[in-house]
Every structure is written in C-alpha cells, then in structure tokens.
Structure 1
C-alpha cells in the first residue's frame, strides 16, 4: 500500500513509518557527528515521541550514551486507513537504534498525567533501570489533562487575554495566507491552560520520584518554554499559554527547594521557535516562522529541534556556555531574539502578501518540508513509500 501525505488544515492525517525511521536515524547521525559529551546517564523524558522531547532523548542517548525511558500518548495502526501516529513509529525505531548500541530504551505509551502511569514508571525504574534517574525532561504538549487528585478534566486554549487579536496565518492544506481572528480566552480557558500546560504535573512527577528514592545525586530536570518576540506576545507570551508558563516558573522554584538536598537543579529552558506539530497550529505563528527561518538560515544559525536540543544539552545543561536571564531561565533562544534577527524578520513580515509568501522571499518551502518530515514524508535518505499493514501491526513499542 502506497502512503501519501494528507492534510487537514495544518494537521497531518497520514504517516510514512519508514520515513519516520529514516528521520530518527538522521537525527541520531547528526548527534554522532557532533561527538560525545559528558551528560546524563539515566534519563526520563515525558513527551518523548516527537520534536523537542524526541530530540532530547536522542542527544542524551547518542551523545552521552544514556539509558532512557520515554513516556508518550500515541496510537498504533488500526486499519489500512489509520496507520497510527508518527510518534508511535518514532518510539519503535528509536528503541531499535538505541538497543543496537547496547542502551536501555523503554517506551511507555499512555497518559503521563495519570497516577497510574507515574506508578508504573517508578516501578520500572526501581526494578529494571538501576533504581534512579539523573535527568527528567518535561516536554508534554497536550490539549487536555485530568487532575487525578480531583478527577476534573481541564482543556487548554491558545488565546489572547482581554483582547481580540487579528493577524495573518498560513493554511498548509490550501497553501494560502489568510487573516485569522482569535477571540480572547475566558477565565475558565485560562485556568484550564494553566492546569494543562503549567508546571503542576511536573511538580507531582518530581515529588513522587523523590518519595520513591528514584532521584540521583546531582539530579537535573528541565521544562521547555517559549517567549518569542513582541510580534507574537499578544497571542502567546501575554496570552493564556504565557500565564501557564509563568506558573511553570513558580513550579520550578518549588522543585529546586525540593531537590536541594540532592544538589539537584530545576530549570526552565526558553527554546527557540521551531517546526513542531504544536507550533504549526498556534495562531499566526507560521507566518513568523517562515520569515524567521529565512533570516536565521542566511546567518547560518537556523536550527531544527535536534540541532537546538543537542546544542543545549552539550553546551548549556552539561557544558560551560549556559546563558541565563534575570529570572534564572536558560536562554538558548538568544539567537532568535537578537536585535539584528528581529529587525530583519519584522521587515520581511511587512512585505508578505497572499501572492508572494511562498516565494524565495521566505523559507515557506523549508517550513513545509520540516512539517512533512515530522510525519515521515520528504525525509532525506528515505526511498520507501509503500507499507504492509500486517508488518506494521506486528511492530511493538
């Protein structure tokens, strides 16, 4: 059966499993080419199946030779019209490549927010993973979260606060630039976004791991955040998601107190804008991305998720080039937010029209290709575009 890219708006409705395999291998090869570094050895990644979470897992495993546990919510193949999610196959092929190197690569598929998943992971750490982890990466992006202490389910909403925001966005399916109006978030939506995208669940993970004596001396944990430039603040940093990220910063402070006796460290890492399944559906952001990529590529500093996270791990989290701001946040996004880059991006955005946004004026084609790569399509090195359903069905994460 031949597989082809299918889109609905800015969401993929198909997957090429073997393209996913090649994309994972391409990221592994990038890390290997950068050489080894002294980093973590026992790593737990929450949200491990794609983008920043997967990149973190790959750099830890193939740059620092770390054993890893990945937790993610993914779906396997159901029938020939529903082959599962890209993350399902990323997990499978990451495990295969890691095990070929003699590394432990355990995948847990399910709800990372649940108490059951936390208990299952802790049991595995104690019985089969050496008893302790020295690094936890929190990279969850989800639309909903059920608070297991109350049973209440919350939903996130990426909306501005106190104002309606209008701007131009990109529809990948129709390949058009259109005007989008985003209504302000309600108080309920703000609360829900904080519950889903804030740091409460991160704190609960750390508390339970510590209570179970599963945190190593010198333990580190990091949550990935994004601030972005002023042009995106109304619907992002100053919106409901920004409130959630501010709450995560408070969580980080409490985590630092909790792990002080272990000489541990909790960090908020403010990452740069990259192409992810989440970023392409954030209102208005894709227009900014195609201009940002053009400017950063011309300056030789454009980064994909694996390039960005590998740099962070080897030079900042476990290196001597950490760049902190006044709030103690790690700021590898400084390349993106430099005055020179932002000035050129703003100038470029002002020139865009529905007629020219796909031209060489921007990096629309790169943005589109990176999105396709997330789903296993147009991946460099992959030549397999046909699959056998029964073979896929037999694959286990």
Structure 2
C-alpha cells in the first residue's frame, strides 16, 4: 500500500508505519545520547502510545533501563485501512526495547474499564512483580464509567460566557475569529468525568489493593496551565475545571501512597506542544505557532521527548524536586518565562493572514502535526509500497 496523509479537519485518519518507526527511533536516540538516570526500573504507562505518554515510556526504558508495560486503545490495520499511529509507535518501541533486553509489554483496550485494569494487574504480576512508577497520560473525548455504566462526552468550551478570539486553520493558514458558546452545567460535569482525576484514582487504588505498587512507588499525571490568552478556553474553561479536579486528586493520592508504600503522587504541568488533543482546541494552534517562533528563536524549544527527559532528570527524580506553590512540577517554566510570553503577546496583537508566515511558525506546527502520524519524516519514501499490517506481540 502507498500511504499518503488523509487529513479531515484537525485529525489525520491514517498513519505511515515506517514514518512512525523512524520518529520513535529519533526519540530513542535522543535519550541514548543523554546521561543515564537513576530511577525506576519497572514502569507502567497508562496512555502509552502517542505524545507525552509515548515519550514517557521511551525515556523510562532508555534513560532508566526500565522494563515497561503500556496501556492504550489503538486500531490495527484492516483491509485497505492503516493501523493508527499509536499502534505503529508501540510496535517500533517494543522491538527496540526488547533488542536491549528490556521487558516491553502492552495491553490494547479501554483503560477506563475494570477489565483492562485487572488484565494489567495480572500482567504486572506475571512480568514485573511490582511497579515503582505509574505514568497516567490518558487523553480521550469519551469515558464510560466502570461502576455506573454512564457514558460521558467532554467538550472544549468556556464557562460563564461565550469566548471570541483569533484562531488559525493550521493546514490552510487562514486566520479567522472564532466564537465558542459557554458550557452548560451538564457539559462541565461530563468533561470533568472524562478528563478529571477519578480514573487515575481508580487505577492507583486498584494497583494498591492488588499489592503491585513497590515500596516508594510514585505516580505522575500531566496537566497544562498556559498563558492568559488561552485562559477562557482552557484553564478557566471546561478543560481547566477538569485539570483542577486532576490536581486535587493528586493531593489525595499523594497521602494514600505515602501511607501505604512510602510513595507519592504529583501532577506535572507540561509545555504546550502539538498533539491530536491540542489541535482540536480553538485559539491554541495559533498560540502554539507563535510560541514555537519565539522559543525557537531563543533556543528554548522542546518536544515531548526533551520535556520527559527533563521531567525525570531535573524534577521527578532529582535529589530535591522543585514544585510550585500548589505542589505541581513545572516543566512549562521555559514557555512561561516573562520574556517569552511578552513576545508572544506582542505577536498576537499583530498577527493577520498577511503576516502569518513571518510572525508565526505555522510550518513548524504543521510539520509536527504530520509527524504525529509518521508523515514528513526525512528518509522515508512516501511513494513506496509498504506493508500496513504490523503485529503487536507479547515478548
């Protein structure tokens, strides 16, 4: 099959196996080029196949030399349809990790369900015995509650009043004004149910009860705050309400883990990056395009793998981990530097369709988006016939 990108709105509906494998290999090489870390040797990553979750797994395996189990929900290839990018990413990761003699096992299924939690616990007992780090990096638009059976759907909306501001179509470069109506109380409730901390808490409670968390085990989940430009649609909107719930859950889990195994829980606030999730949020692609321009000019730009190495090396497993006043790890610190945000604010006021390519790094945004799906990777022949059926196997 010759595989070219198929873009629909803010998503790509196919993926390239060789391109995905190459970008996984690039992340592995980056970690291998860094000093080895002292830290966990048995790691569970929930939401392990793309973005920060994938980078977390790569950094743990090739930075710590950790055995890993990954949980995700991805699609295999079938008939004339490619597998999802996360499927190909995982296949490439597992092959590379096993070549280094590491345990690399995966479970593909609904991580919100009790069944997948119990399957994961059984696999931990079989392959690792216990884990000493649990990374929670799930991103999903829907969640079915495992106890009640209610299905929730998240929305990306402001709270209280409508929000209007500039946005960009990152594929066409069209700059326009978008207006987003306020969320209803039920939409807020459902978004918190999908993206808040309840499922993370369910995971940690089940792992504790099963006795598969090692002495001193830590868990980390990911969040974002961002600049005031995006507050109405993000931190002060439905997503922000969910992140508040996630951060409150971290405090509860921190106490529970300290009491049970002498461990802890923390939220890491990460940098704005191109992900499938961020591409769906109005205003955010334009902000990220401006941010990339400023941070690249200053030599401060990071991708997911650079962020995860810095999280592990300088924060989570540092001798004295630095946290903010709310107890959160901040690896968005370079993004939120005063000089960076001042320049982004200035560009935001000037931006229009006429100067977009001059003031913003829209090409960088677009390239990063395509790379999520294995496209635009140097050295890959996208005119060649490739085999889309790539297996995931147990080691």
Are the counterparts in 1 of residues 255 and 264 from structure 2 also a CA contact under 8 Å? no
How far, CA to CA, are the matches of 1:158 and 1:231 in structure 2? 15
Aligned to 1:96: 95
CA RMSD of aligned residues (A): 1.3
* 1:317 Cα deviation after fit: 0.8
State how 1:325-340 maps to structure 2 within 5 Å: 325-340=324-339
Aligned to 1:215: 213
How far, CA to CA, are the matches of 1:211 and 1:301 in structure 2? 43
TM-score by length of 1: 0.96
Aligned to 2:169: 171
Aligned to 2:2: 2
Are the counterparts in 2 of residues 7 and 172 from structure 1 also a CA contact under 8 Å? no
* 1:394 Cα deviation after fit: 5.2
Does residue 227 (structure 1) correspond to residue 210 (structure 2)? The answer is no
Does residue 29 (structure 1) correspond to residue 29 (structure 2)? The answer is yes
Point out where structure 2 has 5 or more consecutive residues left out of the alignment. none
Does residue 346 (structure 1) correspond to residue 342 (structure 2)? The answer is no
Which consecutive segments of 4 or more residues in structure 1 shift more than 6 A?
none
How far, CA to CA, are the matches of 1:7 and 1:30 in structure 2? 29
Structure 1 residues 112-121 or 271-280, which shifts more? 271-280
How far, CA to CA, are the matches of 2:225 and 2:170 in structure 1? 24
* 1:393 Cα deviation after fit: 2.4
Does residue 393 (structure 1) correspond to residue 389 (structure 2)? The answer is yes
The 1:63/1:394 distance shift into structure 2, 3 A limit, reads: closer
Are the counterparts in 2 of residues 8 and 173 from structure 1 also a CA contact under 8 Å? no
* 1:14 Cα deviation after fit: 2.2
SS across alignment from 2:336 = coil
Aligned to 2:125: 126
Aligned length: 392
Point out where structure 1 has 5 or more consecutive residues left out of the alignment. none
* 1:250 Cα deviation after fit: 1.5
How far, CA to CA, are the matches of 2:304 and 2:257 in structure 1? 28
Aligned to 1:309: 308
Picking from 199, 202, 207, the partner of 1:201 is 199
Deviations, residues 6-62 of structure 1 (Å, cap 9, x unaligned): 211211122111000000000000111112111211011011000000000000000
Deviations, residues 131-176 of structure 1 (Å, cap 9, x unaligned): 1100000000101111111111111111100111112222234332
How far, CA to CA, are the matches of 2:72 and 2:173 in structure 1? 31
Are the counterparts in 1 of residues 290 and 361 from structure 2 also a CA contact under 8 Å? yes
